[in-house]
Structure 1
Amino acid sequence: MNWIEFSVHTTHEAAEPVSNILHESGASGVVIVDSQDLEKDWPAAEDEIIELSPADYPKEGVIIKAYYPEETFTENNVRGIEESINNLRQYDINLGANEVNLQTIREEEWADAWKKYYKPVRITEQLTITPSWEHYEPLSRDEKIIKLDPGMAFGTGTHPTTTLCLQMLEKLLKGGESVIDVGTGSGILSIAAAKLGAGSITAIDVDETAVRVARENALLNDTDKQVQVKQSDLLHYTDMQADVVVANILAEIIMRLADDAFRVLRPGGKFITSGIISRKADDVRNVLEQSGFHVVERTENEDWVAFAAKKKS
């Protein structure tokens, strides 16, 4: 089988919403080629040298590559995807160059493309994300491994917004909590919560593909008994009571979720939010406070902001 590689050159700000559009359009996988990867200190075994070629990366921003079966991918698909990406401008998302390219990829080339850009990465003091095909030995007893396959997942879990959420979860979870993960995507936050000691996790997403992917990744990480994945949105869970709600999504959606998150949280519960571009951080904070939350922590990574807000007792 041949595949169509649909690639778009865009900004770091637009990376996650564009990736989501590509997945929802039926992509069999998405790769994010990030210019900032050239500056990272990639962990390697003693006998391994990781060399990244600048020629494979954009000079700025990211190139997002999505793969579709050639036999079912049409011009109508291309126009629909481009329209959805351009519509992100209504949310004040900077699309940058927004350059689209198409090329045909053979099956074997597509399979190898994932492995070229994906290596184990230590995200927090305890959490390391590693591709499912790599053999990785923990460096300490406290290190917890999350296995992901970029052929199934929404990115590799190393985007700053995901990192901020993982760091917040590691800091705030004490063990035994009930967690709701809104817009779970690959399920990475739910898997991390399980490995960090949460008692039960409800992972929800409106997208059918995300639900399937999250279930597969939960099974891959032996967390499927703790993580229950549902196709839904938060409105269907407002009668539920949770200790933590986590949402790594667009700022506009977080602001719409604030009242519902407040209702489902127990007194003293935490609402962890990320996916917030820095220029919208004050707007999100104001809405959280209007909904009754007290913001207890703000963290930043590059141009992204995450909040931990507490429901007042």
Structure 2
Amino acid sequence: WKQYFHPFSVGDLIIKPTWEEYTDEMKDHLVINIDPGTAFGTGSHETTQLVIRQLQKYCKKGDKVLDVGCGSGILSVVAIMLGAESALGTDLDPNAIIATKENAEVNKIENGRIEVIEGNIIDDKAVQDKAGYECYDIVCANILADVLEPLSEEITRHMKHGAIFMTSGIIDMKEEEVVNKFRENPELEIL
């Protein structure tokens, strides 16, 4: 798969595999180095790019970001590179935890600015408590509809008042179902 993964741009960012060299075309861009390992998230998938574009639009200096289903950590890394103060990633896959830590390191992100927790924030009280409550300015979840639906009931407990929840990964035939589930939560406004 590495032979097919080459640098590409998303808005003003360039996503570059760690094994590719820097080029002159990259010098005027913010470059995100990514090696997904065996975790999900090269940044090339349309759903990931959608969330990256939303981060470019809404993420501001000092934000605290929660990345649910962090995979390779690409969304956490992008958020920090765009000025977020910190990011917390959660994932069920231990390989995602490793990949996120490695991608934070390869992008020279200071120790502690990206934290990761292995576990399920939807129903694991220990993960919920460790993540904290009412403390995130932005929550990202580029995950499947079947995970987003139960997440809709939990996620607002972790968001500050006025926070933004960015989600993607929903196939067309599940869109209405997910939107209706999120509409059930009076603390969320769908834009």
The TM-score with structure 2 as length reference comes to 0.87
- Show the 5 A alignment for 1:144-155: 144-155=30-41
Counterpart position of 2:116: 229
Counterpart position of 2:14: 128
Confirm or deny that 1:249 pairs with 2:143. Answer: yes
Counterpart position of 1:106: none
Give the unaligned 5+ runs of structure 2: none
Instruction: Check the 8 A contact 1:126/1:142 in 2, yes or no.
Output: no
Confirm or deny that 1:187 pairs with 2:66. Answer: no
Number of residues of Structure 1 aligned to a counterpart in Structure 2:
182
Q: Which runs of 4+ in 1 moved over 4 A?
A: 138-142, 150-153
SS of 2:71's partner is coil
Counterpart position of 1:220: 106
Q: What percent of counterpart residues are identical?
A: 37
Whose relative contact order is higher, 1 or 2, with alpha carbons under 8 Å and at least 6 apart?
Answer: 2
* Cα RMSD, aligned residues only: 1.9
Going from structure 1 to structure 2, the CA distance change for 1:207 and 1:150 (only over 3 Å counts) comes to closer
Going from structure 1 to structure 2, the CA distance change for 1:267 and 1:141 (only over 3 Å counts) comes to farther
Deviation at 1:224, TM superposition (A): 4.7
Confirm or deny that 1:294 pairs with 2:189. Answer: yes
Instruction: Check the 8 A contact 2:41/2:73 in 1, yes or no.
Output: no
Distance in 1 (alpha carbons) for counterparts of 2:79 and 2:151: 21
Greater radius of gyration (CA)? 1
Distance in 1 (alpha carbons) for counterparts of 2:61 and 2:24: 22
Distance in 1 (alpha carbons) for counterparts of 2:28 and 2:51: 19
Instruction: Check the 8 A contact 1:179/1:198 in 2, yes or no.
Output: yes
What amino acid does structure 2 have at the position aligned with 1:229? V
Counterpart position of 2:88: 202
Q: Which is strand-richer, 1 or 2?
A: 1
The TM-score with structure 1 as length reference comes to 0.55
